Amino acid sequence: MTNTSISRMPNPAEFVPELNDISAALFRATGNRSVPRTTMSLVHLRAGQIVGNTYLTILNTGFLRKAGESEERITAVSSWQDAPFFSDAERAALALVEATLQPAPHGKERVSDELYAEVAKHYDQKALATLTIAIGQISFFIALAVIGKPQPVSSLADEQWD
């Protein structure tokens, strides 16, 4: 099988090297261990699914596999609401990323007080701030992924930009 280039642009960090600093800072901010890394990857995978981006879904699926997550849990992220594989804390995090990335019902807030309270039941203030930053982090990378369309990779060590 030949690898056909599908990236729309070369690596943007070649032109804006500060991107590497931004990326590193975001990973440091979310790597404080207040939220399990698996939860972060589940949230990032769900974000990739919501925006329909192959790069993000394959990348975060790869992270979850490397962390030893079962294929059932990984596959069920797209239908987490009725899947028996997720903890209440993971469900709250998945609901939060969905509320953040999807349009709100007419006349409603994206993140309701009820949803916020549910998330806050499972995460202390530091963890809630970290989870919020993680959702912002994936939102930042969504723009790069959907506009630049890097090649799907299962690891950041793989080549992603043409």
Are 56 and 142 spatial neighbours (Cβ–Cβ below 8 Å)?
Answer: yes
Can you give the residue ranges of every domain in the chain?
Answer: 17-148
Per residue in 69-114, pLDDT (tens digit) is 999 999 999 999 999 999 999 999 999 999 999 998 888 999 999 9
Q: Which residues contact 73 (CB under 8 A, 6 or more apart)?
A: 42, 64, 83, 85, 86
Whole-structure pTM over 0.85, yes or no?
Answer: yes
Per residue in 18-38, pLDDT (tens digit) is 999 999 999 999 999 999 999
CATH architecture label of 17-148:
Up-down Bundle (1.20)
